[in-house]
Chains A and B, each alone.
Chain A
Amino acid sequence: MRMLILIAALVAATFAMRAQDFPVRIEPVTMTPYLQGRVVVPPSPLKYQNIFVGGVDTVETGTGRAAAKQWHDYIGYVSDPTGTSLGWAIVNHEMIESNDKIGDGGGMTMFKLGKKADGTVEVLPQTLSDGRSGKFFNVDFANTVGETGMNCGGISWSGRVWTAEEWYQTNNKAIYSDGKGFRDTTDFEIGKMQPSGFAGLDGKKIKRYENLNWMVEIDPKNAKAVRKQYNWGRQGFEAGVIMDDQKTVYLFEDGDAGKSLLSKFVAETPGDFTKGDLYFYKQDAGQFTGTWVKVPNNPATDWNILVAPHAWAKTQGITGFTRLEWGQINKTDGKIYITETGNDKPGSRYKSALAEGWTLPKHTYDRAAAQGFAVDSSAYWDYYGRVLVFDPTDNSVKSYIEGGPYITDAQAVPGLYPEKHLSNPDGIGFLYVNGKTFMVIEEDLNGTNFGRMPNTGMRGTNCEAWLLDMSKAPTFDNLYRLAISPYGSEITGFASFDDGNTVLINSQHPDNATIGDAAAKNSLTFAITGMKQLVSSIDKDQEDRPQGVVMVYPNPTSSQLNFSEPTDAALYDASGARVRVVRSATTVDIADLASGVYYIRTADGATQLVVIQR
């Protein structure tokens, strides 16, 4: 140890002689911890863990192991009523590939989470009812209900899970994808491998692509496909919500701008979703309220409507939303919050929708009017999207929080890029902790322009997950940054366990192909524990941020350095060469730097020795 210090002192002497001026200083502006190569979450009290890495962790297929699929999206979840574990999670794979072991198309991966003594979590070994043993299990769709593709969002309700496929298909050539997608494009016979559960439907032969884009029920604990929900219509579904009456289902479609459906299904019998009525939402002209239009939905007799419901919907003047993403019910106020991602300039889409007979929602007209444009004008913009709120008591749909801020030359403050910018909300969830309700909003950027990234001359995107305390006003100021996913990736999926203390989130498709560890290079499910302490400290954090001395931690480190407050900083290697400079940052990504002794100088003038050690 003494030797090490001696060496360090010698190195420090060399460094001092060769030290360069600190780069010319610019007034700190905002916390812009962007262009991160890995997931960033607030430090203590939270604990961060990588749980499930696509392409690296292996799934038990029943006929051997296979590398798990990638493109993690929705996370379905089931709590463990016995309390012996945290419960089960099942992750969607939003992709299409031919895969001999797991099956062609997209898919899902299930695992069970346990809680360790120190409060962190672990994946538990399991043996399923079909005999598979291991930690991760895929769901076999190809040999049960038929393939799925681009599994994106879903529904978790009462121990049951549904998976959605937004990637709307209209021909077999596209799904075949030159043999890289669904290699079997023969007609699909419903009920041949497993009864469909719908009277008079089994034996019907349909085009292979027509068996895609239905909501599919999964038995999460056994990682088994149960049924395709042929009676809910074939849509570019993104997500849904099942109400406490055990009968009503709301469904959200990520379809074409101005033609995306908001649907409702009401079951005849609680918990049995194979029989019941289907409705599409039609907003009252000039009002936020609306009515539900009944859709013929007997799969045996109304197949032609169900397989292409948009053709029917437009003849009924149904309301076409822009692109609905995920929705979730806030159990505290009973309202459903739905993300609508936005479309940069949707005017031509709206023109086409209106010509076909669709109606557009009032919040869209209101936005266009505020901009001074017609709703179908090519000048009307909707870069950032929003969170909508649907109130089941009066069937109203309104904007809850608009993305942004949108800053023109008239509003811009020199050098003040907004510290919080909400762009293209996609994933949504609720967290109930310590008697408080938080909305979780996850971004999937549709672009980088007009403020969606701070644009510091560097390329790439980072998406963020935000917490919003529902007892406060829905403003940008009240958003709390929970996590940032690596550049190029989308942050998505949200499941909470253990009374909200543990959450799972996904980092999907990072663009970081060659840098860092497997967790930074692949789609990833990560866990954050300690949410209870976090939410009780959020208000404090927001109001009195420590000022003065900047603390640098951890030290030694392997992948990143954190600062206790935003600062300019420069990192020098042992020879005194400057290797990193960050501005107004709370973290420095050092995953690409070699192990060794370094010096970091922060804006308060302090220099300290840090060790990178792997």
Chain B
Amino acid sequence: MKHTLLAFLAIASIPFVIAWLVPDEHVRRRESFRAMIAEISSNVRAQSSAFDDTCINASTTVDLTQIRRSYEELRSVYKSMEPLVEYIDPSAVSTYINGSPLPKLDVKSQFVDIIEPQGLQVIDEVLYNDDSLSNEDLLQLRALSSSLRTSMQAISGVMISAPWTDRMIIEAARSGVLRITAMGITGFDRPASEPHITDDIPALKTIKRSLELFGPALTSRGKGALLNNAMSLADTAASLMNGSSFNNIDRATLIRTALDPLYGRCADIQLALEIEVSTEIGPSEVIVNPTARSMFQTDVLYPSAASGITRVSISPILVELGRTLFFDPILSSTGERACASCHDPSRGFTDGRTTSIALGRGGSLDRNAPTLINAVHARRFFSDLRAMRVRDVIAHVVTNENEFNSTLLEMVGRLRSSNEYITLFSQAFGGNGPESVDATNVGIAIGAYLTTLVSFNSRFDRYLRGESVSISEAERRGFSLFMGRAACASCHFPPTYAGYVPPSFTDSESEIIGVPLRQDTINATADPDPGRAGGIDRENSVIYSGSFKTPTVRNIALTAPYFHNGAYMTLEGVVDFYARGGGRGIGLSVPYQTLPFDNLNLSVQDRDDLVAFMKALTDTVGLTRRPSQLPRMSTRVFQKRVIGGEY
């Protein structure tokens, strides 16, 4: 019997051995890919050296035009490398090559050490903030250009020596399409110079060349049409860009007819060739669903590791337990309030109040209750980003005297006094008896429930992913403004329209925008809330003073009032605040404001269009179901609880 099996396996494996003896098309593909990389890195080396030399040789008075031209040339060749290096070494890109021009903290230092930004975007500000170059500017520029030159050579080294596989080549291309869509066409990385909608054409060309490498393999499998389609989609994107301008391009059409289908086609090619996808590599975290056909589909992102849940560990029974806990006021010391008290499904999981009512109705909390929809895509939680995990959020809420005013032990004790809860926990966690009810498992269950509160199915999403729905002209214009001239998407990145940074979504951003204490543009008063600087101790720095998590714009029609302090009641008011240049624009002193503080010059129609677009992002279908009953207590206390809390 054993021999039969071995013989069977030997026979079964013959075709594969033969397959490997055939001269591999992958060898040719790899050689072509390496040649492309070599060409790109040599262009980047030449231009970063030329730019550095230009800066070194320049004198202040005459050479600004020449330096700017050299910078544009460098930027253009860098764009052709960007899809590859952004994929292979995203940290080096954001820290030294093309990260935002804002100071950051050294997370590995035991001190609160500020790291000054470097790279193309800082150079952009030095070169374009005004039309002159002081001696000081030039010194700064030289330091930046020599550092950039070194960084470019090092990142090229990483790119060349990387163990590129077919999976990585296709995923880099795919990630590049996402980056162009979510950031490139927003003018995100030109903080001072005039953005051009054609800026990303070199990146598009590299994506096209990468996919083209798979042409022979696809053809030999009779799937050549896939590649032809991908090529024509890339061409369509380029011709739409070439035929328009940054302010006039119809971004909805660009995405619907070219970029989004191109994103899907990358996955089609990968699957057609049976190339492994990132979820097959191991159990480590994968954030972007490698097989999603659209950037705007419901499961385009997996829950982040911060949710405490992985894509493989979510079960319906766990979700139901989490839902029950979410609506059960047993988590609070008085049995009056549940998570749903402040996160009401009918209001997009907010409570409609400026700031929420405190437990016992004795006053109110410090901040506005945020929506929980798409919260599992965050890396950190609360407006001040102080919590790293969903279970930590729950611990904060349970122990806060104005929220649940309890302790984790007391909460577990209350849950354990219900035999029905003990049974539910035992079923969900495979444990036995009261031991399976503990604070960690409460966090995991609620985290599992939160993973179901995902919204990427608004009419606007469906339009962008090519379905037969229509959008109004106001919404269409509003989207282009949001993603362009009004500069909203440079912080509220699609597809979440929150501060979850594409294309890797490994970071949740916060911004200092200077929201006043009350909506008042004439006599604005500063809000003393320290924000992120008052969050975790290691971030107690001026660069985070008044900095708050960038929330999602999805479902914003349901979640008024707005901002961390709920100071603004209407979207029109919010748009006006931004149009005036945030806190600095209305006369507040906000030294580290991260929002551009110049007037956006938005017309009345522009403002109406923006609001129309934002209101088209509503989608809570299937998210609002409440449990029909709560588990019974085995003792007399807390027998009559109200589902979702009393108030």
Contacts and interface: CB of A to CB of B under 8 A. Distances in A.
A296 interface: no
B105 to A, nearest CB: 13
A415 B444 CA distance: 41
Interface stretch (B158-166, B195-203, B235-243): B158-166
A420 interface: no
Interface stretch (B279-287, B356-364, B595-603): B279-287
A19 B118 CA distance: 50
Given A456-B165, A605-B17, A16 B12 contact: yes
A23 B166 contact: yes
Contacts of B37: 414
A455 B153 contact: no
Interface stretch (B23-31, B65-73, B547-555): B23-31
A459 interface: yes
A588 B162 contact: no
A19 B12 contact: yes
A607 B283 contact: no
B89 A256 contact: no
Contact of A588 (B17, B172, B282, B308): B282
B181 interface: no
B647 interface: no
Interface stretch (A104-112, A220-228, A577-585): A577-585
Interface in B256-290: 273-276, 278, 280-287
Contacts of B278: 457-458
Contact of B147 (A15, A345, A583, A592): A345
B60 interface: no
Contact of B153 (A19, A410, A446): A410
B5 A8 contact: yes
Nearest to A25: B26
B154 A32 contact: no
A74 to B, nearest CB: 16
A22 B16 contact: yes
A447 B91 contact: yes
Contacts of B30: 26-27, 415
A601 B16 contact: yes
Contacts of B537: 174, 177
Contact of B110 (A167, A344, A416): A167
Interface in B1-43: 1-2, 4-5, 8-9, 12-13, 16-17, 19-20, 24-27, 30, 34, 37-38, 41-42
Interface string B136-159: 000000011011011001111111
B411 interface: no
Interface stretch (A57-65, A77-85, A372-380, A468-476): A372-380
A407 interface: yes
Interface in B101-126: 106, 108-111, 113, 115-116, 118
B143 A379 contact: yes
Contacts of A89: none
Contacts, number: 252
Interface in A367-408: 371, 373, 377-379, 381, 406-408
B523 interface: no
Nearest to A12: B8
Nearest to A603: B20
Interface string B158-193: 111111111110011000000000000000000000
A73 interface: no
A449 B153 contact: no
A194 interface: no
Interface stretch (B224-232, B309-317, B485-493): B309-317
B163 A29 contact: yes
A607 B8 CA distance: 10
Nearest to A520: B283
Nearest to A55: B440
Identify the interface centre among A379, A579, A581: most chain B CB within 10 Å of its CB.
A379
B54 interface: no
B389 interface: yes
Interface string A398-441: 00000000111111111111100000000000000000000000
B393 interface: no
A605 B20 contact: yes
Tell me if B's interface is mostly helix, strand, loop or mixed: helix
A323 B286 CA distance: 33
Interface residues of A, number: 97
A371 B273 CA distance: 45
B16 A415 contact: no
Contacts of A583: 163, 165
Contacts of B12: 12, 15-16, 19, 607
Contacts of B9: 12, 607-609
Interface in A127-167: 150, 166-167
A460 interface: yes
Contacts of A581: 276, 280-281
Given A21-B19, A609-B9, A589 B280 contact: no
Given A413-B161, A447-B108, A592 B156 contact: no
B87 interface: yes
Given A408-B154, A513-B389, A607-B13, A27 B146 contact: no
A19 B283 CA distance: 23
B1 A5 contact: yes
A601 B9 CA distance: 11
A515 B89 contact: no
A410 B156 CA distance: 9
A589 B161 contact: no
B162 A455 contact: yes
Interface string A544-587: 00000000000000000000000000100000001111111000
B147 A379 contact: yes
Contacts of A23: 166-167, 274-276
A185 B144 CA distance: 44
A514 B310 contact: yes
Nearest to A584: B163
B19 A22 contact: yes
B291 interface: no
A290 to B, nearest CB: 25
6 contacts: A168-B110, A414-B37, A456-B281, A513-B308, A589-B282, A607-B16
7 closest Cβ pairs, A-B complex: A409-B156, A581-B276, A449-B92, A412-B160, A379-B147, A605-B17, A407-B157
Interface of B: 1-2, 4-5, 8-9, 12-13, 16-17, 19-20, 24-27, 30, 34, 37-38, 41-42, 45, 87-89, 91-92, 95-96, 106, 108-111, 113, 115-116, 118, 143-144, 146-147, 149-150, 153-168, 171-172, 217, 273-276, 278, 280-287, 305, 308-310, 312-313, 389, 444, 504, 506, 537, 540
Given A16-B8, A26-B30, A446-B108, 14 more contacts: A2-B1, A9-B4, A12-B5, A12-B8, A23-B275, A256-B113, A378-B147, A379-B149, A406-B154, A454-B163, A457-B88, A514-B308, A606-B13, A609-B5
Interface of A: 2, 5-6, 8-9, 12-13, 15-16, 19-27, 29-30, 32, 35-37, 150, 166-168, 174, 177, 236, 254-257, 343-345, 348-349, 371, 373, 377-379, 381, 406-418, 446-451, 454-460, 487, 511, 513-516, 570, 578-584, 588-589, 591-592, 601, 603, 605-609
